[in-house]
Structure 1
Amino acid sequence: MWKNYIKTSFRNLRRHSGYTLINILGLTSGIVASIFIFLWILDEVSFDKFHANGDRIYSVMVNNQRPDGIIDTYAANPSRIKETLVNEIPEIKLATQYSYETAHLVKYKEEGFNEVGIYADPNFFQLFSFPLIKGSTDQLLGRKNTLFISEDLAQKLFQEEDPIEKTIQLGEDQELTVAGVFENIPDNSTLQFDFVAPFALYLEQNPWMQNWASGASRTTVLLDENAENPSNKIGDLIQKNCSECTTRPFLYPYDQLRLQGEFENGVPAGGRIQQIYLFGAIAILILIMACINFINLATARSGSRGREVGIRKSIGANKSELVIQFITESVLLSWMALGFAIILVQLLLPFFNQLTEKTLELDLTNPVFLLGLFSITILTGLLSGAYPAFILSRFNPITVLKGDSRSVLKGQGMRRVLVITQFTASAILIVSSIAIYKQISYISDRNLGFNKENIIVVDQNEGIVKSYDGIKNEMLQLSSVENIAFGGNSIFSVPITTSDPIWAGKSERSNINFKIFRCDEAFIPTLNIAVSKGRNFLGAQDASNYIINKKAAEAMGLDLETAVGTELEMWNGKGYIIGITEDFHNDNLKFDIEPMIFMFSENLGSHYFIKLSDQNSMTASIDQVKAVFKKYNSDYPFEFSFLEEVFEKEYQNEQVIGKLALSFTMIAILISGLGLFGLASFTAARRTKEIGIRKVLGASSRSLSLLLCSDFALLVLVSLVIGFPVAWYIIQQFLSSFTFHTDINWTLFLLTALLMLGLTFLTVGYHAIKTAWNNPVNSLQNEE
């Protein structure tokens, strides 16, 4: 029986090749979009899931209440908390402590590389599942002169040599022995590193970390089996040992930090999981749109299929057999579309990876992926074929064999609702994706209050610190270099905040937080930050003087005209405010401009900023800069990034969302066009006789074409009326996360309306013109 269903389905699909091609194109587009989103979601939810006992691994997080009452949440905690947790909390079976990832020179003989690594204690490889290839963890981390390296780093340093017991140089003056090699860290790990050095060595280099008020390391624990989260037991551990501390630790599932690691006032507030919900919904929406196309095209052919149903019923076929037959056709189409979709996904995957900055693969051996593909294909086939199958199988054989097409060609209201649904979804996607791109363009083009063009950023290392005077002097002799400066952190999102500053008139209850940025005298002019009052730093003579922005002056209650010369005490000691800068963006544009204090420093920080001139080509200028760095700092590879690239990375997540939204919107537009084509085909068939009569009575082909197109234009207008308010709400929710954002006005909606109406006339025009130009004699001879 099934063999007969399949054979008949293939015969029908082959006979109506045009209909089959359009359906396959629509379903293929929908499945391609769904596969890409499915691959992306699988990768996102797989992060940190490879660790054994992952459901029992928890990260020690800290809630810190600022003077203004706002609670900041982060993973940095005191180094002494680990032993206290193990000793006082019986639910904790194992704990490990490790530093944040940092870049260091790793050198063997004459070959050196700048590699990212961490410092960790002896339990690190026991708690996390980073398998060892060579060596033993028994030798690691208990001694201060050993370390482990990754496969890639071992290959770069030693090629075919056995790395075990080889001595390598870490940084400027540390010599450590390789105790083992671990497998390369998988891409779906939030921890990314190429070497692990002993945490004891890190503590020795940073003794201040022993203070309970510090927070420069991370702690992760493994709970006993069946143990509940003991966060309620550890909340006061820090305050017990540090009466002035305001931080309260708690445990948070380690494998949830990637997707749900954002907090607002100490409470989980989502994170990347919202993107998964968003694109999951888009995938479902696009699939439904593709299914709607099938339904429209199937009903468009209902006139010809009606006679087939009548004949089959008259010779004994029952309703269930007909339903199975029609659903078999739709499922076969889905499988055919799946085949084409897999080919397209494989071809387009490199572009998708470039777009999302991932390394996704089409792994057809992955049972989860195969189950997802199978589910998507079967569901698409069933959704596409169910409605036409039940409608067509209900035809009265006597009526359809008599040629009464009115009983066949009904359900016009449902078809119109389906097209309105399609175009409503398309309108929402188009408006939303354009709005996202407008916001990204707004961010890129906004005047930040300083100059980021033609500036390269070089990370600080010990070699540069030792030779900085020589590097700076020789660099300034180059025609390609306008200036070189030292700066503490990223100027786009200054991370250091404090309420410590003291000035005359400060209230005892003051809870103002100031951003702190350390820099030398060249930083402000290099980035062309405007100093509106007073002056810039002159050098080490201003080591205890400060520069503030206008926001800081306002926060302190100082008059801008008299603020210069005000006494201010900070970490550099008691000094004076010597300058006031114009306000500039010192944080992500999601947040407001914050009060900020510049502190003079020539080495406490992490970046050098080099302003290149326009006299030479960029390549030649960089080559000259590289030559100077290599002359004074030959051990380290010369690595840099453009300040504009650093800025773009700050908004990388928004850019990826925008690109994905635009890509899937294009697919939605394509599917919507095919949906219109299907309904236009049906309408043209239904109104053939009407058009013939109108032509006999004198109607022109042009007026008849406009008549047919106007019906569909009305459907589009209805979809716009429904979709625009929804799109406006979504846009407002997105833009509300930015303190500084673009304005969305009526032109965006007008542009979308014109685009969709243009698509309508372009898509429907073919059928309208074809029908309007038909010979009315032929039309009147055929009811259909």
Structure 2
Amino acid sequence: MWKNYLKTSFRNLLRQRGYTLINILGLTSGIAVSIFILLWILDEVSYDRFFENGDRIYSVMVNSTLPDGNISTHPVPPARLKDVLLDEIPEIEAATRYSFETPMLVRNQSTGYNETGIFADSAFFKVFNFPFSIGASENHAAELNSIVISEALADKLFPRENPVGKSLSLDQKLELTVSGVFENLPENSSHQFDFVVPFELYLKENPWMLNWQAGGSRAAVLLVENSPNPDSKIAGLIKSNCADCTGVPFLFPYENLWLHGKFENGVNVGGRIQQVYLFGGVALLILLMACINFINLATARAGTRGREVGIRKSIGAKRGELILQFITESVLLSWIALIFALLLVQLLLPFFNELTGKAVIIELGNPVLLLALFAITLLTGLLSGSYPALVLSGFNPIKVLKGDSRSMHSGNGLRRVLVVAQFAASAILVVGSIAVHKQITFISERNLGFDKENILVIDQNEGIVKNYAGIKNDLLQLPGVSSFAFGGNSIFTVPITTPDPVWPGKPERSTINFKIFRCDEGFIPTLNIPIREGRNFAGIQDTSNYIINKKAVEVMGLDPETAVGTELEMWQGKGRIVGVTEDFHNDNFRHGIEPMIFMYSENVGYHYFLKVSEEASLPSVVNQIGAIFKNHNPDYPFEYSFLDEVFEREYESEQVIGKLSLAFTCIASLISALGLFGLASFTAERRTKEMGIRKVLGASAGSLSLLLCRDFAILVVVSLGLGFPIAWYFVEQFLSGYTFHAEISWTLYFFTAVLVLGLTFISIGYHSLKAAWSNPVNSLQNEG
């Protein structure tokens, strides 16, 4: 029986080649998009889920109450909390402290590389059981001068040798011995490092971390098997050891941090999981649009298959058998589309990975992927074929064989609804993708209040600190270099905030938080930040003086004209405000411009900023700069980035969303156009006799063409009327997340309407003109 169904299905598909091609193109596009998004989602949900005891690993988080009453959630508990957790919480089997990933120079006797590593205590590899290829994880931190390295770093430093027992230097300060080699970390690990050093060395360098009010490192615990989360027991541990502390620790499942690591005011509000939901919804929407094409075309062809149904029923075929026949055709078509979709995905996968910054591959041996592909294809076939099968199998054989066309033209109402739904979805996607693109363009083109072009950012290292004066002097001798400066952090999202500043007239219970940025006298001129009042730093003599921005003047309640000279007390002691800058963007565009204080420093921080003259040849100057750094700092590789690239990385997530949205919108529009093209073909074919009569009666080709286009145009206009309000709501929700955002005017909706209507007329124009220009004599003879 099934063999007969398959043979008949193949014959029907080959007989109606145009119909089959349109459906295969639509279903291939829809399934290909679904596969791309499925691969992306599978990669996202796999992050940090490869540990043997992953369900027992928890990250130690802290809710800290700010002076204004808001709650800040962060993964940096006091370093001393770890020992208290082990002593007082029996549900905890092991606990570890570890630093944030830090780039450092790792050298053997002959070569060195800037590599990323962490400081971690002896329990790190018990909590996070990354496998070792040489040595045992228990050996980590057994000796204070030990280091464990990755296979990749071992291959770099000790090719074809056993590195265990060999010596390494770290940042030219620590002499360490390799005690083990761990396997390279998986791509889907949120931890990415190539060496691990004992945490006690970190504490020696940063003794301030032993203060209960200080953070600076991360912590994680491994719970005893089958133990509940002991949040209620640990909530008061910081307060009981530090009366002035406001932090409340809690445990958060480590496996959930990647997707659900966003907190607002102490409450978990999701995170990257929202992108998973967004693109999962887009995949479903596009797949539904492809299915709508199938349904519309199948019901439109009812007239051509009515006699087939009538004959089959007259010789004894049952309705259930006919339903199975039609569903077999749609499922077969889906499987054919899957083959083409897999080929298309394999071809475009490198571009997709480049777009998303991932390295996903099609692993057909992955049972989860296979099951998902099987489910997508089968459901697509069933969804596409079920309604047409029910409609076609329900024809009355007597009426059909007598030529009663009314029974064969059922489904017109549903087709109109589906066309409206399809184009409404297209309109929503078009408006949404253009809005995202406009916001990204707005961010990239907005005047930040300082220059970001032609500025090199160079990470600080010990070699630069020791040779700073010589490096700076030689750099400023280069004709292509305008200035060279030190700046503590990223200027785009200054991370350090505090309510500590004291000034005359400060309210007793002030809740104002200020961003703090350490820099030398060259930083403000290098980034060309305008000084509104007063002066720039003059050098080391301004160690206790401060520069503030205009926003800080406002929130402090100072007179802009007399703010310079006002006394200000900060961590560096009492000093004076010597300058006021214009406001500039010192945080993500999702937030407003924050009050900010510049503190003088020549080395407390992470970055150097070097301005290259616009007239200079950038590649040539960069080579000269590199030669100077290698001359003064030969042990460290010369590495740099451009400030505008650093800025773009701050909005990498938005850029990925924008590019994917644009790509998926184009595919959705293509699917809609294909469906409309097919519908127009069958509509024109069914109305051939009507066109012939109208033409004999004097109707022009233009009026006949517009007659055929009118019905579809009305449906598209209705779809725009339904889709635009929904699109407006989602766009407003998206833009409301930004304090600074692009303005979306009515022109966007007008452009979308023109685009969708233009697509409509292009899709149906060919068939309309072909029907209008045909010879009425032939059409009347054929329809007679």
Residue identity opposite 1:133 in structure 2: S
Partner of 2:708: 708
Q: Which runs of 5+ in 2 are unaligned?
A: none
Cα distance, 1:615 vs structure 2 = 3.0
Deviation at 1:779, TM superposition (A): 2.6
What amino acid sits opposite 1:165 in the alignment? G
- Post-superposition Cα deviations, 1:459-480, rounded to whole Å, max 9, x if no partner, equal 0001100000100000000011
**What percentage of residue pairs aligned between the two structures are identical?**
67
The structural deviation recorded for 1:774 is 2.1
- Give matches, 1:350-369, under 5 Å: 350-369=350-369
Shift of 1:672: 0.4
Q: Is the 8 A contact 1:415 1:679 kept in 2?
A: no
Deviation at 1:152, TM superposition (A): 0.7
Q: Is the 8 A contact 1:130 1:183 kept in 2?
A: yes
Q: Is 486-495 or 194-203 further displaced after alignment?
A: 194-203
* Helix, strand or coil at the partner of 2:78: coil
| CA-CA distance at 1:93 after TM superposition | 1.2
Structure-2 separation of matches of 1:671 and 1:108: 58
8 Å contact from structure 1 (residues 299, 682) kept in 2 = no
1:567-646 aligned within 5 A: 567-646=567-646
**Residue 551 of structure 1, CA deviation:** 0.8
Confirm or deny: 8 A CA contact 1:479 1:615 kept in the other structure. Answer: no
**Per-residue Cα deviation, 1:199-219 (whole angstroms, up to 9, x for no partner):** 111111111111111101111
Letter in 2 for 1:585: H
In structure 1, C-alpha distance between the alignment counterparts of 2:10 and 2:272, rounded to whole Å: 44
CA drift at 1:688: 2.0
The secondary structure found in structure 2 opposite 1:765 is helix
Residues in 2 aligned to 1:301 and 1:134: alpha-carbon distance in whole angstroms: 67
Which residue in the other structure is 1:221 paired with? 221
Give 1:783 deviation, angstroms: 4.8
Deviations 1:267-291 (A, max 9, x none): 1011111111111111111011000
- The one-letter amino acid of 1:13's match is L
Counterparts of 1:167 and 1:455 in 2: how far apart (Å)?
A: 38
- Contact 1:102–1:117 (Cα < 8 Å) also in 2: yes
* Cα offsets for 1:43-98 (capped at 9, x unmatched): 00100000111111110001111111111110011111001001101111111111
Length-normalised TM-score, structure 2: 0.99
Partner of 2:729: 729
Amino acid at match of 2:499: S
Question: What does residue 203 of structure 1 align with?
Answer: 203
Q: Distance in 2 between matches of 1:664 and 1:386?
A: 26
1:172 corresponding residue in structure 2: 172
* TM-superposition CA deviations, 1:517-542 (whole Å, max 9, x none): 00000000000000010000000010
Deviations 1:149-187 (A, max 9, x none): 111111111111111111011111211111111111111
| Aligned pairs for 1:45-84 within 5 A | 45-84=45-84
Contact 2:125 2:138 in 1 (8 A): no
Q: Match of 2:81, as an amino acid?
A: I
Task: Report the residue type matching 1:120 in the other structure.
Answer: A
- Post-superposition CA distance 1:346-387 (Å, at most 9, x none): 010000000000000011000000000000000000011111
Letter in 1 for 2:165: E
What SS class does the counterpart of residue 4 from structure 1 fall into? helix
Kindly indicate whether the alpha-carbon contact (under 8 Å) linking 1:481 and 1:612 is maintained by their aligned counterparts in 2. yes
Q: Give how far 1:686 is off.
A: 2.9
Of 670-679 and 723-732, more deviation after overlay is shown by 670-679
Distance 1:261 1:204 in 2: 31
> What secondary structure is seen at the aligned counterpart in 2 of 1:503?
coil
- Whether contact under 8 Å (2:391, 2:410) holds in the other structure is no
Structure-2 residue corresponding to 1:230: 230
Question: Who is 2:549 aligned against?
Answer: 549
Match of 2:717 in 1: 717
* Displacement after TM superposition at 1:692 (Å): 1.7
Instruction: Provide the residue aligned with 2:492 in structure 1.
Output: 492
Are 1:417 and 2:435 counterparts?
A: no
C-alpha distance in 1 between matches for 2:690 and 2:110: 87
Partners of 1:782 and 1:65 in 2: CA distance: 82
Secondary structure of 1:7's counterpart equals helix
Between 715-724 and 291-300, report the one with greater CA deviation. Answer: 291-300
Q: Which amino acid aligns with 1:250?
A: F
Counterpart position of 1:189: 189
1:249 aligns with 2:246: no
Partner of 1:344: 344
Pairwise CA RMSD: 1.0
CA distance in 2, matches of 1:33, 1:582: 47
Distance 2:770 2:320 in 1: 37
Matched residues in 1 for 2:709 and 2:345: separation? 35
Asked if 2 retains the 8 angstrom alpha-carbon contact of 1:303 and 1:405, the reply is yes
Partner residue in 2 for 1:513: 513
CA distance in 2, matches of 1:256, 1:576: 47
Q: Which residue does the alignment assign to 1:373?
A: 373
Aligned pairs for 1:69-148 within 5 A: 69-148=69-148
Match of 2:316 in 1: 316
Indicate the SS of the match to 2:599.
strand
SS at match of 2:564: coil
Q: What amino acid maps onto 2:532 in structure 1?
A: S
Give the distance between the partners of 1:725 and 1:304, measured in 2 at CA: 39
Q: Would the aligned equivalents of 1:405 and 1:783 in 2 still touch at CA under 8 Å?
A: no
- Residues 680-723 of structure 1 deviation map (CA, whole Å, 9 limit, x = unaligned): 12322332222222111110111100111111111110000000
Per-residue CA distance 1:388-410 (angstroms, 9 max, x = gap): 11111111112212222222012
Residue 157 (structure 1) aligned with residue 157 (structure 2): yes
Q: Is the 8 A contact 1:50 1:129 kept in 2?
A: no
SS at match of 1:249: strand
| Structure 1 residue 127: Cα displacement | 1.2
When structure 1 is superposed on structure 2, of 7-16 and 434-443 the one drifting more is 7-16
Asked whether the 8 Å contact 1:485–1:522 carries over to 2, the reply is: yes
**Count of residue correspondences:** 784
Q: By how many angstroms is 1:228 displaced?
A: 1.4
SS at match of 1:395: coil
- Kept in 2, the 8 Å contact 1:148–1:180? The answer is yes
TM-score, normalised relative to structure 1: 0.99
Report the more deviating stretch, 415-424 or 679-688. 679-688
Q: Are the counterparts in 1 of residues 22 and 675 from structure 2 also a CA contact under 8 Å?
A: no
- For the 8 Å contact 2:103–2:116, the answer to whether it is kept is yes
**Quick one: distance in 1 between partners of 2:387 and 2:323?**
10
Question: Match for residue 284 of structure 2?
Answer: 284
Contact preservation (8 Å) 2:132, 2:180: yes
Match of 1:275 in 2: 275
